[in-house]
């Protein structure tokens, strides 16, 4: 082959590699979250439920799956309340779930007359067991610590 043909093949190959690299970078580091949304991950939720609630909000499903497997997200995600901000990357979302970087939850208590009602309202707002909350409310040991 002539030098000119080899040069064209080299530049064509280089162009393909650069485009592929740019596309892969955009998959992992580009804007992945479509709209701002709150994500509630229950303590009883498994990884499949997390993925099912998360994927409709993400653009790059393949990249999320690859990165989640790489950081072992299926075994290490933390339950809680997360805020998905518009423009977040796949890597940022996966790290937020793995590290448990949660958004605070506002708790509103109104029209409560007895401790059992308080425990029931709190359990619904913070994903906790109402029996455990009731036990903490009526525990003398907890009262002495406060």
Establish if 125 belongs to a structural domain. yes
Establish if 83 belongs to a structural domain. yes
Question: How many domains does the structure of the chain reveal?
Answer: 2
16 shares a domain with 49: yes
130 shares a domain with 72: no
69 shares a domain with 129: no
Buried b (16+ CB within 10 A) or exposed e, 51-84: beebeebbebeebbeebbeeeebeeebebbebeb
71 shares a domain with 126: no
69 shares a domain with 41: yes
Bridge partner residues of 55 (DSSP): none
How many helices (H) and strands (E) the chain has is answered by: 8, 2
Q: What per-residue confidence (pLDDT) applies to 135?
A: 82
Give the C-alpha separation, 106 to 126, whole Å.
9
Q: How many CB atoms lie within 10 A of CB 85?
A: 14
140 shares a domain with 70: no
Q: What per-residue confidence (pLDDT) applies to 146?
A: 65
Establish if 25 belongs to a structural domain. yes
Establish if 79 belongs to a structural domain. yes
Q: What per-residue confidence (pLDDT) applies to 25?
A: 86
Q: What is the pLDDT along the chain (146 residues), one digit of tens a residue?
A: 688 888 889 888 999 999 988 988 888 888 888 888 888 888 888 899 888 888 888 888 899 999 999 999 989 999 888 999 998 999 999 999 999 888 887 877 888 888 888 888 887 777 777 787 778 777 777 677 76
Establish if 106 belongs to a structural domain. no
Domain limits for position 135: 115-145
Give tens-digit pLDDT for 33-49.
888 888 888 888 889 98
């Amino acid at each position: 082959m002539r030098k000119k043909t080899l040069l064209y093949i080299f530049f064509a190959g280089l162009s393909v590699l650069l485009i592929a690299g740019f596309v892969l970078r955009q998959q992992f580091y580009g804007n992945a979250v479509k709209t701002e949304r709150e994500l509630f991950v229950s303590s009883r939720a498994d990884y499949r439920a997390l993925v099912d609630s998360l994927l409709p909000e993400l653009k790059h499903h393949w990249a999320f799956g690859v990165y989640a497997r790489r950081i072992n997200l299926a075994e290490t995600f933390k339950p809680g309340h997360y805020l998905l901000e518009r423009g977040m990357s796949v890597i940022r979302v996966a790290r937020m779930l793995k590290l448990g970087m949660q958004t605070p939850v506002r708790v509103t208590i109104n029209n409560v007359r007895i401790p059992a009602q308080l425990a029931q309202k709190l359990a619904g707002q913070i994903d906790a067991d109402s029996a455990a909350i009731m036990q903490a409310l009526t525990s003398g040991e907890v009262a002495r610590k406060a």
